[in-house]
Amino acid sequence: MPNRRLVSRRRALWLGLASLTSIGAIATARAGYQSYYQSLDNPKRDFKVTGYAPLKKRAEAKGIIFGSAIRQDLLVSDSRLATSFAQQCGILVPEWELKWNILRPAPDKFDFSKADWLAQFARTHGMLFRGHTLVWYQVLPKWFNEIVNRQNAEKFLVEHIATVTKHYAGQMHSWDVVNEAIEPEQRRSDGLRNSPWLEFLGPDYIELAFRVAAQADPKALLVYNDYGLEYDTPTDEARRTAVLKLLERLKSRGTPLHALGIQSHLTGHETRFNPKKLQNFLADVASLGLKILITELDVVDQKLPVDAAVRDRIVARVYEDFLSVVLDEPAVIAVLTWGLSDRHTWLSNHAPRSDSASVRPLPFDSNLKSKLAWNAMARAFDNARKR
Ligand code: 9MR
């Protein structure tokens, strides 16, 4: 029989050692965490801006368009937001109202009421209006799954694009004709994403969409829009390659494609940003005769320290570093954020913080006070070359 006293003494020793090791591990992890965030945050970096001119004016002075996505219900219910939006933005893009689920309550019915309200708001305030999006694999209405199939998909696609683009013909600055058609992780040789459109119509649905849009609205700039193109990671590299291949293929077939939209949902704690690689990609796109728009800019702060001052500095740094690189490419003609105020951002749901502090990814805080991210954007426009 083992000596009980000895066993319990040994156990105490082990427990003591174990807890020492875990305290050590926690301390090391904490030190690592601190030095990691110290490397992201430079408290001395100043984001000074001269004057109070709004972002749209600063951008305009360089031949660049600045604006944001917005929801109709927010502009209707929040007059302060509407005022700031009109002051700051030279272009408006509906965040929800031009998608299939809102526009197409039933297979034979179009409801333009909310999008028309936004078009009117843009007109009243001298803003450009931008369409998002005609072809996407997400937010298709419920009836779509029940009704659309291989036999009738082309009819639905053509009818949808022709009707919607005709409705706004002559009023649209640009249309995201096809959104997020690339997903190299799904391992097709052409890098295309599996979607109902691909399944029913094959890869040519993309070209078809652009041709129908160009015919109905020859004035709008026709854009292919996608995400995950910004960082020096294997995933983004694969996405850049696949997008470039798609753009080359479309251009070589004479498709009426005029621009690439780079969504630019950026990440505050991501350090793999390589200006040279991004610039090369932009130059490759421009060499195809395409313009470039930054279409959905925001900066995820999910994993940044809770201190709002630190978070805002890191987020602002990401804005300025990214914009100064992309605005160096003369083909970049527009910058849009995906929302203006932290009060209303898709990231509250999509990338919430584990400490439940509210997220701060946009140029204005939830009380519509401008943040360092606003300064960062103002500086990037002020320092940009004129187009
Ligand atoms: O921000 C948008 C969110 O509020 C909507 O629920 C969602 C579906 O309509 O779309 C979000 O916007 C997406 C955009 O349309 C395409 N790129 C990614 C955006 C964020 O998911």
Residue 2 — very low, low, confident or very high, per pLDDT cuts 50/70/90? very low
CB 347 within 8 A of CB 293: no
Q: How close is the Cα of 26 to the center of ligand 1, in Å?
A: 38
Residues 80 and 6 grouped into a single domain: no
What confidence score (pLDDT) does residue 17 get? 54
Ligand 1 pocket mutation, candidates 72, 74, 96, 267, criterion most atoms within 8 A of CB: 96
In which residue are the tokens 């006070």 written?
369
Catalytic status, residue 180: yes
Residues in the chain: 387
Has residue 46 been placed in a domain?
no
CB 249 within 8 A of CB 319: no
Closest residue to atom 5 of ligand 1, CA basis: 96
Which of the residues 95, 183, 230, 296 is marked catalytic? 296
H-assigned helices in 41-169? 55-60, 72-77, 79-88, 100-103, 113-124, 142-147, 153-167
Residues 164 and 65 grouped into a single domain: yes
Has residue 104 been placed in a domain?
yes
Residues 158 and 228 grouped into a single domain: yes
pLDDT at 13 over 60: no
Distance CA 104, CA 150 (A): 20
Closest residue to atom 15 of ligand 1, CA basis: 95
What confidence score (pLDDT) does residue 106 get? 98
Distance CA 121, CA 92 (A): 9
What confidence score (pLDDT) does residue 147 get? 98
pLDDT tens for 279-338 read: 999 999 999 999 999 999 999 999 999 999 999 999 999 999 999 999 999 999 999 999
| Vertex 263 angle, CA 261 and 265, to 5° | 170
Q: How close is the Cα of 348 to the center of ligand 1, in Å?
A: 12
Name which residue leads in pLDDT, 15 or 236. 236
Residues 64 and 167 grouped into a single domain: yes
pLDDT tens for 106-158 read: 999 999 999 999 999 999 999 999 999 999 999 999 999 999 999 999 999 99
pLDDT at 87 over 50: yes
| 133: preceding bond cis by omega (within 30 degrees) | yes
Residues 36 and 59 grouped into a single domain: no
Residues 241 and 357 grouped into a single domain: yes
Residues 177 and 289 grouped into a single domain: yes
Residues 128 and 214 grouped into a single domain: yes
Write down the pTM of the prediction.
0.93
Q: What average pLDDT does the structure give for the chain?
A: 94
Q: How close is the Cα of 272 to the center of ligand 1, in Å?
A: 25
Residues 18 and 107 grouped into a single domain: no
pLDDT at 27 over 80: no
Q: How many domains does the chain have?
A: 2
Which atom of ligand 1 is least distant from the CA of 345?
Answer: 1
Q: Which of 149, 95, 167, 122 is nearest to 344 (CA)?
A: 95
pLDDT tens for 182-208 read: 999 999 999 999 999 999 999 999 999
**Structural domain span for residue 187:** 54-383
Strands (E), the chain: 65-70, 91-94, 128-135, 174-179, 221-226, 259-262, 265-267, 291-300, 332-337
Residues 31 and 145 grouped into a single domain: no
What confidence score (pLDDT) does residue 1 get? 43
The helix-helix angle for 234-252 and 205-216 (nearest 10°) equals: 60
User: What average pLDDT does this structure show over 46-66?
Assistant: 97
